[in-house]
Amino acid sequence: MKESDRRTAEGILYTDEYQLTMAQMYFRAGLHERRAQFDHFFRSYPDYDSHKAGYCVNAGLEWLLDWMGDASFRDEDIEYLRQTKGRTGNPLFAEDFLAWLKSSSPGFFTPLTIRAIPEGRVVHPNTPITVVEGPLAVAQILETSLLSHLNYQTLVATKAARIHDSARGNMVMEFGLRRGQEKGANAGARAALIGGVNYTSNVGISHVLGLPPKGTHAHSMVQVFMSLGMSELVAFRAFADVYPDDCTFLVDTIDTLRSGVPNAIKVFEELRRKGHEPVGIRMDSGDLAYLSIRAARMLDDAGFPNTSIVLSNDLDELVIWQIITQISEEAERYGVDADHLIARLVYGVGTRLITSWGEPALGGVYKLVAVQDDSHTAWRPAIKISESSEKTPNPGSKNVWRLYDQRCKATADLICLSDEDLRSMPKITLRHPSDHTKVRVLDSQELCDIEPLLVDAYKDGVVLNNHASIDDMRARRQADVERLDAGVKRLVNPHIYHVSLTENLWNLKQELIQSAMQSSR
């Protein structure tokens, strides 16, 4: 895409057509500046088919707010809308509406106020993660871009947290740039770093985030030397000459155990004689668990018990789990200490992380929950009935709190109406969002903490509380994950974390459902 086209495609027109037609309709009805409130949330954890997440890691807000700061209707955007025709050839957008868009720019999104759960925090389905309040037409036009920025990063941060977990804290590198959705892979790399990988091979995004990029070398390097009549050994030596202290050799260009590892060891010995310590080897094909055992034995025997063994090739949390299990079972047979080998493994994770393989999209939505009434003073809650009752969104202006039990483990996220203060309630009633038979009552005294999750993120065009570094977000994730019950963190068949409604919110929801159903009869 050409640069000028990119500015068009990634500016305020980075949206769905219906947002603009609805905005004009609100304008015509005199409702465009009526204050409204939209909740962003997702309905269910990623389900990767053979396994499923029990929690998500929130990510993407900072880049959304950056986008909002830049996006406004430019003259060329207005001119494009002016040229847009309806089915019968008439202009779709009227001049007065275009004039309003234009007069609202730059700073088109400035009238909005946003509260949000910070990036890096653990989040759960059906809780409001991002709450947008402001003029109806402006909040409506934000929808598509908001979802685009938040859905994907949360999806990948979640997958990264699972991979981090299955890798038992060993180093994980993100390698997926070539397999993502083009430039979207940059957002994926950022989310992966928040969610749990240590580094990415993506140079540009590392630069932007202030982290060092990581990498090894490709098969092509060995091939170049071989096709010029030289050998894998010569290629390794040439690489070692340039990077004597940063040598990780890819050992599977020809034959891992008969060529790659022996050649790597030869060059490692040469390096050591010159006073350098080799870093490791990488294997990108074959039975990685078996090959690492055999390679570890060869490295151990040669006096390199601590060089890393980097594994890559369609890894994800389950494949890493399988590799570790296989090593635990088989290593001893080859005279290798399984725990020692597992501790020296490093994982390069590409395709399956950047795409969230098995569930490549998070179904985050943005639903109208309240509109100010004609007096412009009171909020009228909004409802949308769904065929399945668990899909009916929670109405009204709300807050969300996290309740920690006596062990200081998170026991539930509780959604309440804005005017409810959980900290003043001696007994807290938790209702299941759709199943009326499920009620739980907690004694406040017995809780370790009651924590509000939403913080101010954007007001009057100013970004608030959002100066966190990637490390800050990682620290939030780590703290939240530690406060999850072990069952919720299982890679397969996790426990269901409780997301509940207060009695007041439950009652409001039921009233609105009844009233909407009656109006349709």
Closer to a copy of itself by Cβ: residue 376 or 427: 376
Nearer to a copy of itself, 170 or 397 (CB): 397
Nearer to a copy of itself, 273 or 427 (CB): 273
Query: What Cα–Cα distance (Å) separates residue 134 from each residue in 338, 362, 376, 457?
Result: 58, 25, 12, 14
- Is 97 in contact with 24 (CB distance < 8 Å)? yes
- Whether residue 312 contacts residue 348, with contact meaning beta carbons closer than 8 Å, is answered with yes
Span between the terminal Cα atoms of the chain, in Å: 51
**Considering beta carbons, is residue 54 or 395 the nearer one to a copy of itself?**
395
- Pairwise CA distance, residues 19 & 146, whole Å: 12
CB of 50 to a copy of itself, least distance (A): 11
Smallest gap from residue 409 Cβ to a copy of itself (A): 33
Extended beta strands in 313-447, E state: 345-349, 364-372, 379-381, 398-404, 410-417, 427-431, 439-443
Q: Nearest distance from residue 470's CB to a copy of itself, in Å?
A: 13
What span, in angstroms and rounded, lies between the C-alpha atoms of 79 and 101? Answer: 11
Smallest separation, CB 493 to a copy of itself (Å): 21
What DSSP string describes 335-357?
A: T--HHHHHHHEEEEE-HHHHTTT
When computed from its CA atoms, the radius of gyration of the chain, rounded to whole angstroms, is 27
Q: Which is nearer to a copy of itself, 217 or 409 (CB)?
A: 217
Could you give phi then psi for residue 360, rounded to 5 degrees?
-80, 10
> Which one-letter DSSP state was computed for residue 496?
P
CA distance 25 to 31: 8
Judged by CB, which is closer to a copy of itself: 32, or 164?
A: 32
Nearest distance, CB of residue 120 and a copy of itself, angstroms: 17
Cα 312 to Cα 292: distance, rounded to the nearest angstrom: 12
Considering beta carbons, is residue 247 or 345 the nearer one to a copy of itself?
247
- In the complex, the smallest distance separating the C-beta of residue 2 from a copy of itself, rounded to whole angstroms, is 5
Closest separation in Å from C-beta 423 to a copy of itself: 30
